[in-house]
């Protein structure tokens, strides 16, 4: 627009909106003023995250063109400097209660400090399993929509192709064209066996494991890829005798330095192997915890439950889930068995403690570089504690060495998921509830508060785009992109509600839907639906399905409709049968 007094022009970009206000001199001898301003347009909440304002004064009209060009150059630079950096940290197979700030006896001072300086979510969810959670986190879609409804084997059905498909985009693929330096370190596990690599899905720099499952260079599954190319475990570019938990942080900070040199905000996706099996840690770390678990899973679980109540993480009406019938009481174990179980949990605690130390190293590195205050840091786990290997766990070899094979097993996983039922794989709360910490000094002004809004890993995409000023595409590389399923968590940061109709889950036939405080959940394809009021009973001990059959049927129908829409169905066997039927019809048989 233009007036006698001045002229204004708005320049739109995928992220920021640039405004230029030019005020012409009213009297001879006055200078023309050019005032650029930047405002953010995020997702659904559109907060004014970043704003730059400055003034140029021009001696006469003849410099207007040059001043305007100069402003056009400065605006993107100023916006890049003010936009927050983003670090997403995902850990592997950690139970809901395994951090100090979620009730654990395991010392995690660095994550506790982030929680004290930020927010803890009490009802944050993953998908219940490794690969599906990674796909949902990266894409903002339910995992089947992204092609990773199970693991990384191609099962033939659209939702189970074992790799990220072409109907999704990653956070990196959206933030990169918006000006972010995108980097990944750690476990990938979304289809590298099919050629799907971080560098092929939007990450400028990456040091990754295709599938994880190792800590030391000599591990059977220890394979590293630098920007998509396999490198030797003793490559001179790597630290000597590295431990994977530390390696991911070392390279994460290296990539941060490259982003700062390029004068770009950064998005770092850091995915730990820890505390996934095979549990391995340096001897000095394990020694810190040896003997501390001889009180047993019952007593230590009760102590975690008491701390959770004291912290306000859970309600007094939520009874602690009982010990599974397959797990013996601690008192029924022989002294030799108790000593073995103590050592198993000492190794697990060591991997968690060392992971916390590496996050402390990351925080210190960001502080030293002067970027910590304007970095949004999000921390979560890919599923609940892991009961694989059964109630006895596994303790093969020396856990300080790469050839060993140690699992916690069901007995300790019961403790790790306190106070919830079930484990990794399942859609009961023990399988899908995750600790979630959000820390951002510049953007989250409240400290040490809890957020009780239900949230999910699908929400991380929307959150990153919201604060990063990026726009989710309808097409990418000539392919139609499925609409984003998640919601920005920015309103929840300000303790406002998140508007959504429902949350859904499915893995290996285990299934669930949550609408408000009601949750419908089942075990396996043929298990009966169970109905729970999570506000009164989040530990899922009082099944309401028989007393509320209409509500059960309504939620089941809603889940069925979602399953058809989100490529959960047809299941792989059904899809194979449908293909055979079509082939027979086509051949006339």
Active-site amino acid positions: 130, 189
Residue with tokens 């925080």: 363
Q: What is the DSSP letter of 31?
A: P
Euclidean distance between CA atoms 507 and 129, whole angstroms: 8
Nearest one of 126, 131, 162, 143 to 572, comparing CA atoms: 162
Name, in order, each residue with C-beta under 8 angstroms of 537's C-beta and a sequence gap of 6 or more: 317, 318, 319
Nearest one of 261, 289, 415, 424 to 347, comparing CA atoms: 289
Cβ atoms of 36 and 19 closer than 8 Å:
yes
Cβ atoms of 31 and 25 closer than 8 Å:
yes
Q: Which two tokens stand for residue 25?
A: 């001199």
Crossing angle of the two packed helices 409-416 and 296-311, in degrees rounded to 10: 20
Euclidean distance between CA atoms 476 and 202, whole angstroms: 12
Q: Which two tokens stand for residue 261?
A: 């040199």
Euclidean distance between CA atoms 561 and 569, whole angstroms: 10
End-to-end CA distance of the chain: 71
Euclidean distance between CA atoms 589 and 584, whole angstroms: 5
Q: What kind and span of H or E run contains 10?
A: strand 6-12
Name, in order, each residue with C-beta under 8 angstroms of 373's C-beta and a sequence gap of 6 or more: 441, 442
Euclidean distance between CA atoms 30 and 277, whole angstroms: 72
For residue 331, the SS3 value is helix
Residue 99 has, within 13 A of its CA and on its CB side, a CA count of 30
Euclidean distance between CA atoms 435 and 218, whole angstroms: 31
Q: What is the dihedral of CA 221, 225, 230, 233, to 10 degrees?
A: -60
Cβ atoms of 175 and 182 closer than 8 Å:
yes
Cβ atoms of 310 and 101 closer than 8 Å:
no
Q: Which two tokens stand for residue 415?
A: 């403790």
Euclidean distance between CA atoms 243 and 121, whole angstroms: 30
For residue 247, the SS3 value is helix
What is the DSSP annotation of 314-328? S-TTSPPPPPPTTSP
CA torsion sign, 559 to 413 to 409 to 193? positive
Phi, psi angle pair for 456, to nearest 5°: -150, 160
Cβ atoms of 385 and 403 closer than 8 Å:
no
- Give the count of beta carbons closer than 10 Å to the beta carbon of residue 562: 21
């Amino acid at each position: 627009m233009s007036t006698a007094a001045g002229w204004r022009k708005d320049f739109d970009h995928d992220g920021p909106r640039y405004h230029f206000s030019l005020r012409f001199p009213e009297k001879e001898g006055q200078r023309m003023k050019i005032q650029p301003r930047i405002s953010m347009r995020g997702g659904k909440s559109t907060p004014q995250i970043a704003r730059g304002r400055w003034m140029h004064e021009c001696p006469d009209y003849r410099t207007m063109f040059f001043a305007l060009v100069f402003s056009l150059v400065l605006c993107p630079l100023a916006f890049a400097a003010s936009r927050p950096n983003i670090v997403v940290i995902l850990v592997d197979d950690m139970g809901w209660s395994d951090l100090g700030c979620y009730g654990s006896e395991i010392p995690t001072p660095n994550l506790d400090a982030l929680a004290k300086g930020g927010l803890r979510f009490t009802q944050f969810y993953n998908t219940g399993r490794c690969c599906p959670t990674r796909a949902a986190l990266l894409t903002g879609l339910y995992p089947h929509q992204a092609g990773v409804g199970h693991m990384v084997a191609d099962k033939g059905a659209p939702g189970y192709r074992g790799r990220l498909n072409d109907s999704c985009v990653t956070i990196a693929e959206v933030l990169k064209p918006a000006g972010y330096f995108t980097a990944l370190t750690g476990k990938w596990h979304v289809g590298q066996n099919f050629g799907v690599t971080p560098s092929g899905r939007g990450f400028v720099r990456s040091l990754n494991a295709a599938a994880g499952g190792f800590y030391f260079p000599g591990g059977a599954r220890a394979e590293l890829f630098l920007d998509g190319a396999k490198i030797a475990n003793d490559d001179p570019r790597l630290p000597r005798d590295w431990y994977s938990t530390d390696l991911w942080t070392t390279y994460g900070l290296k990539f941060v330095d490259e982003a700062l040199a390029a004068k770009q905000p950064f998005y770092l996706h850091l995915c730990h192997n820890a505390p996934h099996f095979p549990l391995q840690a340096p001897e000095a770390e394990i020694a810190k915890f040896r003997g501390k678990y001889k009180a047993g899973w019952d007593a230590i679980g009760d102590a975690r439950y008491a701390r959770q109540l004291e912290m306000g993480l859970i309600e007094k009406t939520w009874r602690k889930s009982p010990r599974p019938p397959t797990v013996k009481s601690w008192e029924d174990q022989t002294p030799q068995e108790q000593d073995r179980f103590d050592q198993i949990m000492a190794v697990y605690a060591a991997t968690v403690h060392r992971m916390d130390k590496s996050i402390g190293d990351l925080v210190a590195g960001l502080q030293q570089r002067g970027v910590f205050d304007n970095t949004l840091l999000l921390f979560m786990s890919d599923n609940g504690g892991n009961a694989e290997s059964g109630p006895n766990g596994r303790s093969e070899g020396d856990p300080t060495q790469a050839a060993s094979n140690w699992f916690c097993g069901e007995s300790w996983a019961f403790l790790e998921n306190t106070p919830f039922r079930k484990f990794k794989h399942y859609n009961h709360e023990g399988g899908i509830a995750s600790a979630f910490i959000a820390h951002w000094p510049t953007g989250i002004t409240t400290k040490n508060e809890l957020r009780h809004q239900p949230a999910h890993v699908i929400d991380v995409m929307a959150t990153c785009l919201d604060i990063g000023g990026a726009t989710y595409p309808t097409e990418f590389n000539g392919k139609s992109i499925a609409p984003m399923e998640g919601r920005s968590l920015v309103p929840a940061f300000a303790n406002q509600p998140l508007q959504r109709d429902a949350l859904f889950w499915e893995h290996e036939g285990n299934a669930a839907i949550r609408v408000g405080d009601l949750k419908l959940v089942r075990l396996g394809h043929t298990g009966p639906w169970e109905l729970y009021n999570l506000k009164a009973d989040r530990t899922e001990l009082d099944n309401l399905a028989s007393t509320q059959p209409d509500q059960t049927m309504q939620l089941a129908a809603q889940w069925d409709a979602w399953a058809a829409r989100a490529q959960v169905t047809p299941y792989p066997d059904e899809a194979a049968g449908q293909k055979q039927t079509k082939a027979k019809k086509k051949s006339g048989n």
